[in-house]
A and B are shown apart, each in its own frame.
Chain A
Amino acid sequence: MIKTVLIADDEPNIVISLEFLLQEAGYEVLVARDGQEALEVLNAQVPDLILLDVMLPRVSGFDVCQRIRSNPAWSAMRVLMLSAKGREAEVAKGLELGADAYITKPFAIKDLMAEVARQLGDPPASP
């Protein structure tokens, strides 16, 4: 069964790069350009994992994470936070709010894809 990943990021070039990598690994990819859009997508279709940027316009990544974790319907969803803000406080805050993992930008694609596979219980994809 094909697993679905939602990319929530406002940097178009990062979205392009992530979308390419995830599709190549065999996932179905959804895209949201800000927090509000991400929540709307979630209401329509629940993905297996969300790649959630923290600095999102309108509704921040932290708020999206909090809402995901407060809704039992989304409890199975994995949340992987991505942020160019890599201070410890922010990492801790993300994990505290219920994120399953927190990856700092810029990342090595090998590490990112390994984490996505690990979260979804898949064998690590070959690069």
Chain B
Amino acid sequence: MLLGSVILLASFAYLGVLFAIAYFGDKRADAGRSIIANPVIYALSLAVYATSWTFYGSIGRAAVNGVGFLPIYLGPTLMCALWWLVLRKMIRISKVHRITSIADFIAARYGKSALLGGLVTVIAVVGIIPYIALQLKAVSASFEILLQYPQVVMPPKGRAVALLQDTALYIALLLAAFTVLFGTRHLEATERHEGMVAAIAFESIVKLLAFLAAGVFVTFVVYDGFGDLFGRAAQQARTAPLMKLGDAASTSWTSLVLLSMLAILFLPRQFQVAVVENVNESHVAKAIWLFPAYMLAINVFVLPITLAGLMHFPDGRIDADTFLLTLPMAHGQEALALFVFIGGLSAATGMVIVETIALSTMICNDLVMPVLLRWRALALARRADLTGLLLGIRRGAIVGLMMLGYAYYRAAGEAYALVSIGLVSFAAVAQFAPAMLGGMYWKQGTRSGALVGLSLGFLVWGYTLLLPSFAKSGWLPISLIEVGPWGIALLKPLALFGLSGLDDISHALFWSMLGNVGGYVAVSMLGRQGLGERAQAQLFVDVFTRSGQDARPWRGSASVQEVVALITRFLGSTRADAALAAYATGRGWRSVAEIQPDAELVRFSENLLAGAIGASSARVMVASVVEEEPLGMDEVLNILDEASQVLAYSHRLEQKSRELEAATSELRAANARLQELDRMKDDFISTVTHELRTPLTSIRAMSETLQARPRMDEARRMQFISIIVKESERLTRLINQMLDLAKLESGGADWHSAEVDLKELIEDAASSTAALLREHAIALTLEVPPSVPVLRSDRDRLLQVLLNLISNAAKFCPRESGRITVALQVHADRFQVDVRDNGIGIAPADQELIFEKFRQVGDTLTGKPQGTGLGLPISRQIIEHLGGRLWVASAPGQGATFSFTLPLGARPVPEITGAAGHATTHP
């Protein structure tokens, strides 16, 4: 015997556990250690989808349609596959824009339209209230059935219960209290309720375990497993057809799958748990498979229990809706029956709690606040703290919704209206789909389009689903359905415009979606978006590619004090201060006092308030304290035009500045080159001076000595005089070579082109240096072919080079064992002359240095090198002028080979004649 007190005690104990969990969750959230930041909890909270309509009702549907109960669960499973795309985008948009409800979402997307938000709220409330009523009915009915234990009887129908004795009323009040307590504890900018979510997740576990327990009991205890159960059912006329897929079911399956796909996304409670309460986007990834797994688990035993119920209660006295409860009762399992009751209670309470929270947010932010702000804007603006008012509105809305649900339940009673109300609700929220999905993926969708589409869809829904359900309940004349209003058959609600052959839901879905999508798309295509709308459209559609910035151009002035006061009024001073401090820090300011009144502040405060009072109301409120100059489209175009002109101008400026920079750096480089040249000139002059002064020093010192000493020793006198002569020659040579080099370098030298026989020229050079070489006992070898092609070049200059190279070689040859070889090779395209010596060689580091002016490389062993230090630079100048190359190859101690080439082809010598036309000076 189960006493009412036991059931009540169990129920209260269960609710007490829920309170405890919710309280713990909230405390942990306040402490910053969330217990719901976990994908499993997230997936379990999503299972609030499974209400008492699932818990008891799917068995009822299965008793009539067999596997026809499945589409309601297949739809969400299918939609899960799209969650990563769709749900994640909804979450991202909502986090960025602090969206707290589906009404807010649609309103914000279409230019923060209060009208749209209100319309969505009305549709949601009208569509959902009966659904809430259904939950209350399920709880009170299961309570009354359980109360009859061990008898298994249905509660009497049409019995009028006194209001104060109605369990449903107390259930409604209790749930209202719970929801108020954990749904509106305080005003959050994010509107998240961690304790509530934790409780909902717990409820999902309880209802699943209860269902599974009953299923296991029926399948494995009453029967001998699935095989036994299905085998027996297949032999009975009543149950056999339920195990087959009906042919006629296909359309209704399609529409039911579609409907439930949309419901899982757009039911206010699903939006609440899936989007608003979402802690972390990545949780979606795990929920994509966890949630379908849950749905599968809770549906596994639906068919077995249905078949068992139909076989156990063959007379139809017991509603199939109650099999889950009545089968354990009939088998004397009172504890299991109580557990099932608790499971049903959790399914119902979970739905009611989340749904009322979601709806209360919508009612407050999108219905009541806009109206209050418009009618009593001044009065509201004067109130110091509006947090109390906001919470009051929400609490009132929760209690009001619960009472409305209860009233509907009382009024509808056992009428038809309750039975299929789940699907009717689904069809109502499906109307949000075009505006939601279009808003997320189609930038062109306009506010007018969304308004027209939603209105048309809602009207058609009311006409084709709500109206017939009222008529079938006897509230309206049944003739409305049977012959159509005013006898017009085309307007028959269940066969609109002659469309028949569909089930009611498919029929309603077809017409409402036709009107909704058609109206939305057509009006959007024809109309034009306002400025705010266009900005929001871009922000929503491109949420993954844009930052969270409001793209709406803003111009105006704001008073920081007023904005701060406004935020404080709605959020309370603690939360407002914290938010403002975070904002100031984020902008790089040290304190709230430094906050500047700019567009960013306006955006921030709008966004912050949107969390509390919805996007459209927030916009109105902030606008009331900010002197905003309204921007028309033309003005924005002007701004954009100006901006693009400024951009072009700045582009030109940048260009100019780049050119200037380039010119400056060129100048700087040129200047550096000039300075370098200047320095080189100074160095050159200094070097030349040094080179000229050195022989002069000896000449002067010796001359003065001789002059002052007329009776000097004869030998000494002769030595001095010969030094004077040598140094004078050196001086002359130096001056001549310097002039020569200067002419070569400046291009002022005279060139005489003539036919030159190189073999003959080398022999001439050899004879010219014979005396010098003999003096040093150096052997000269010539390696010259018997005859060579005639070359057209400057003979004197070439001789100068050869003499230079041979005398240069002689200087570094060892005395007595010196050997110099002059070799001539004739290649296909050039002559090559090598002058080899067996002297001290040249270190690699010095091999280029020796071609510089006055750079002599010597060795103290042989003393300071003789010569001017200009021979090699001059030779190189000459050879290069004649189209060849002069270089040295050597290793220290290995001797050196100076080589030059001359082009073999008939290359005329460039004739450059100095202006003065003097004869070339060379030694």
Binding site for B on A (CB under 8 A): 10-14, 16-18, 20-21, 33-34, 37, 55, 57-58, 84-87, 104-110, 127
Q: How far is the CA of A28 from the CA of B252 in the complex (A)?
A: 132
Contact of B708 among A12, A57, A106, A127 (CB under 8 A): A127
Interface size class of B (residues with CB under 8 A): 20 to 34
B477 at the interface (CB under 8 A from A): no
Say whether A14 contacts B701, CB under 8 Å.
Answer: yes
Bound together, the chains give a CA A58 to CA B864 distance in angstroms of 12
Contact between A17 and B694 (Cβ–Cβ < 8 Å)?
no
Interface of chain B residues 706 through 754 with chain A (CB within 8 A):
708, 716, 719-720, 723, 726-727
As a 0/1 sequence over residues 526 to 542 of chain B, the CB contacts with chain A under 8 angstroms (1 = contact) are 00000000000000000
Spot the interface stretch: B120-128, B129-137, B685-693, B901-909.
B685-693
The answer to whether B693 and A13 have CB atoms under 8 Å apart is: no
A21 lies within 8 A of B690 (CB): no
The contact of B690 among A12, A58, A84, A110, by CB within 8 Å, is A84
Is B860 in contact with A33, judged by CB distance below 8 angstroms?
yes
With A11-B694, A107-B697 as known contacts, state yes or no: A17 contacts B689, CB within 8 Å. no
CB distance from B305 to the nearest CB of A (A): 110
Chain B residues with CB under 8 Å of A108's CB are 700, 704
Closest to B692 in A: A84
Contact of A85 with B700 in the complex, beta carbons under 8 Å? no
When C-beta atoms are compared, the residue in chain A nearest to B859 turns out to be A57
Contact present for A11 and B698 (CB under 8 Å): yes
Choose among B691, B693, B701 the residue that contacts A21 (Cβ–Cβ < 8 A): B701
Bound: A20/B713 CA distance, A: 12
Contact residues in A for B35 (Cβ distance below 8 Å): none
* Count, A-B residue pairs, CB within 8 A: 76
Dominant secondary structure at the B interface = helix
Specify the chain A residue showing the minimal Cβ separation from B694: A84
CB distance from A33 to the nearest CB of B (A): 6
Q: Is B227 an interface residue (CB 8 A)?
A: no
- CB–CB A106/B860 < 8 A: no
When C-beta atoms are compared, the residue in chain A nearest to B696 turns out to be: A106
Q: Are B864 and A12 in contact (CB under 8 A)?
A: yes
Bound-state Cα–Cα, A58 to B700, Å = 27
Interface of A is mostly: loop
A57 to B863, CA, bound (A): 10
Whether B697 and A84, one on each chain, are in contact in the complex, defined by CB atoms closer than 8 angstroms, is yes
Of the candidates A11, A86, A105, which one forms a contact with B864 in the assembled complex, judged by CB atoms under 8 Å apart?
A11
Question: Does B705 reach chain A (CB closer than 8 Å)?
Answer: yes
The verdict on A106 contacting B693 (CB below 8 Å), with A20-B716, A85-B686, A87-B686 known, is yes
A60–chain B nearest beta-carbon distance, Å? 13
**Measured between alpha carbons, how far is A107 from B705 in the docked complex, in Å?**
12
Q: Give A104 to B690 CA distance when docked, in angstroms.
A: 10
Whether the Cβ atoms of A86 and B689 lie closer than 8 Å is yes
Determine how close the nearest CB of chain B comes to the CB of A35; give it in whole angstroms: 10
| Contact, CB under 8 Å: B723 / A16 | yes
Query: B485: CB under 8 A from chain A?
Result: no
A106 touching B723, Cβ below 8 Å: no
Q: Which residues of B contact A13 (CB under 8 A)?
A: 695, 698, 702, 723, 726-727
Q: How far is B858's CA from A37's CA once the two chains are assembled, in angstroms?
A: 16
Asked if A109 contacts B858 (CB within 8 A), the reply is no
Q: Mark B885-898, 1 if CB is under 8 A from A, else 0.
A: 00000000000000
A-B contact pairs, 13 of them (CB 8 A): A11-B694, A12-B863, A13-B698, A14-B701, A18-B701, A55-B690, A57-B858, A57-B864, A84-B690, A84-B697, A106-B701, A107-B700, A109-B708
Residues in chain A near residue B864, CB distance under 8 A: 10-12, 33, 57
Kindly list the 5 A-B residue pairs having the minimum CB-CB distance in the complex, ordered from nearest. A84-B693, A13-B698, A106-B697, A17-B701, A105-B697
Name the residue on A nearest B727 (C-beta).
Answer: A13
Q: Is the CB of A84 within 8 A of B689?
A: yes
